A and B are shown apart, each in its own frame.
Chain A
């Protein structure tokens, strides 16, 4: 064998071995990729990924016209892992202090110790980028979501707010947390060798982008009506130096809440600076004795039970004795007046209302009030909503008499509004609705929240009779300040002394309220205007009624409701 043949044969051997090796490798590769691929992929995925709860980004809240009440934006949270520090806490603090806006000595204290901790949460994304650019070992930035309320304090009492962990802490954000935080979904994110989420910490993470495209929660509120209500309420509070006030407006046919104004309020973007008194959703949680507005239900009950006929009249003096107690009418003439039901309502006569109410048996009276929803929650879904107190039977005569004109029974403003909506809706009322649906970005309905079932409280005929009484209150009685040219307004005033808090008896402070609807023939809305402890002037006719009128007038214009009462020059 020549030398060249030897070289050739050895070369073939080597090439053959290499080719065989390549074939073996290719075969192995094919086995791993094709046959064993799924199992290995699952193992690898398990090792390098972690399931992350996507429910941490809340859905946007919009009004019935699609205008944003609450949105979620990206935010950066800065943390410290002292075990990874390569410089002393004081040196790190010096570098971070100008960016975080915290004095260096204070920051140094925060950085001492061994355990992982947050330095600041939910700060602007730009700040996170600047801190990341410093590349300080042991200082990291995590992308989170932050709730922003672009309208500031508008409807804040109802909306509530969320904490740093994106959990609803007040208002609708808390009450409907499950709806607003959305369906719980999980996303697999990559983690590094130490188990840290790579995607979440990466500025290029697609995760947040995917989440912010989610469905939106549509409220029944109308932003413009809400603004009108809050604006006029603020003026009224300032004018009458009242402690607080509320304007609640509802579409009586559906139970949709159109406005829910309660002042003083707060800015939910800075909820930590707010007092509990301004955060509390008191129109749904606080009870009060409604006073004369309860006469609507007393006379409706008397009619519905057949205890009185629509044409009945009652002799009314300035006072009446019931079970040894004297019940008086304010500013009543000394002589006896014969008042029918309309007139009793018109002048808001306690004496006449008590006479009509006491024609009912106590159980029938109580049953009628329960039928309007008194003594139980309205099923609005609001957390902390109070049921009110409808006293249990048996009732002594004086108890029944005082309940007739709104004492000895307590309600929430929301409850009163809901109950009175029966007279604007042919005798039936519906639980208030705050959320109408959940919609996707393209407007497709994802989840529907239909109006509650209608509950019949009184017959259609009696509802119409009461409506006529309420119209007369505004046309001739205590509610004339609610008149709006071109429209028939129906409503009832209420001026109730406040019980002494933690004591016995009544204070000099009052709760002035007016509940009414317009146009009376086919109401577009029913509204409760309420002022707590107005000073100087107590009468609802001079405080709550003008407030009602101001809100109603602008709302009618906004809704484009045509006048149905033509007045010729």
Chain B
């Protein structure tokens, strides 16, 4: 590589290097050093692709972790909900609030004027039976 150095006399007597003229370098590269550019471009592209794939993979892993966590939480909540909504739990909660089962259920019959309903009867015991 051409460095285009100029030698000057330093105030202390030591030589010093003049600053690089990048335009000269670029010109020189464009004309004579295209293989260097090709190598640098290839390596840069490889590095870029690698970094991109690592970033994407990290994002994917994060998403999978979130997904798993959310689904685990979903199952846990559904299990808790199922237990809380079980008939036994609901009935216990109702009883605790002073509710009692309905003694009679009336069914409305819209088109039968003469329809009636029967109150619940006390169940009497039948006659004992033979074997």
Q: Which residues of A contact B (CB under 8 A)?
A: 8, 11-12, 15-16, 18-19, 22, 26, 67-68, 71-74, 125, 148, 150-152, 154, 203-206, 208-209, 212-213, 223-224, 227-228, 231, 291-292, 328-332, 347-350, 405, 407, 477-481, 483, 485-486, 493, 495-497, 539-542, 545-546, 549, 554, 557, 562-563, 565-569
Contacts and interface: CB of A to CB of B under 8 A. Distances in A.
Nearest to A318: B130
Contacts of A496: 131
B1 interface: yes
Q: List the 8 closest A-B pairs by CB distance, nearest first.
A: A19-B35, A330-B130, A227-B87, A485-B118, A150-B82, A567-B118, A480-B126, A348-B129
Contact of A206 (B38, B67, B102, B116): B67
Nearest to B74: A212
A151 B86 contact: yes
26 contacts: A11-B33, A16-B35, A22-B35, A73-B75, A73-B76, A152-B86, A204-B68, A205-B64, A208-B68, A208-B72, A223-B87, A292-B131, A347-B127, A348-B129, A348-B130, A477-B126, A477-B129, A480-B125, A480-B126, A480-B127, A481-B124, A493-B129, A541-B125, A563-B118, A566-B116, A567-B118
B10 interface: no
Given A12-B32, A26-B42, A331-B127, A569 B116 contact: yes
Interface string B36-48: 1011001000000
B83 interface: yes
A231 B39 CA distance: 81
B127 A73 contact: no
A487 to B, nearest CB: 10
B38 to A, nearest CB: 6
B9 interface: no
Give the interface SS of chain A, mostly helix, strand, loop or mixed.
Answer: mixed
Given A227-B88, A563-B117, 14 more contacts: A18-B39, A73-B75, A150-B83, A204-B65, A209-B64, A227-B91, A291-B131, A292-B130, A331-B129, A483-B123, A545-B126, A565-B118, A567-B116, A569-B116
A478 B79 contact: no
A347 B129 contact: yes
Nearest to B71: A209
